[in-house]
Amino acid sequence: MTFLLADDSRTARNILKSFLNEIRIPSSPPVYLEASSGEEALSLVQNERVDLVFLDWNMSTVMTGLDVLIEIRKIGRLKELPIIMVTSEIEKTNVIASLKMGANDYLVKPVEEKTFRKKVNRILKLE
C-alpha cells in the first residue's frame, strides 16, 4: 500500500507514519510519499499510485488541504481515492464542509493512536 502524508510539519508526518507502522497491513511493507505543501500533494496523487491520503487542512502554502481535496475530487480517476483530513480545525462546520467536499473521514490533532487505527482500519476494510 502507498500512503501520501501531506502536512507542512515533518513531525506530524512522522507521527502518522509511526501509527501506520503499527497497523498490520496485509501486503508488502507500506510505501510513504510525503508532501510538505498542497501543490506537492496534488502533484503526487496525479503522478503516483496512492491508496490512502492523509491531508492537513492548514498547510502554510498556496493551496490548503481543502483546496487539494477539491482538486482531487475533480479528477475522474481519483474520485474514489480515500482521503482523511488531519487538522486542528475542530469546528463542526469545518468537519461537515470537508466531508461534503469529498473527504472520507477526519482526524483532529493531536491525533490519538486508537482513533487513528479505528478510522484507517475502517477505510481500508482491515477490521
The CATH number given to 2-123 is 3.40.50.2300
Question: pLDDT tier at 91 (50, 70, 90 boundaries)?
Answer: confident
Question: pLDDT tier at 127 (50, 70, 90 boundaries)?
Answer: low
89 vs 88 pLDDT, higher one? 88
Query: Could you tell me the residue ranges of all domains in the chain?
Result: 2-123
Is pLDDT at 60 greater than 90 in this prediction?
no
**Burial (CB count <10 Å: 0-12, 13-18, 19+), residue 54:** buried
Report the predicted TM-score, pTM, of the whole model to 2 decimal places: 0.94
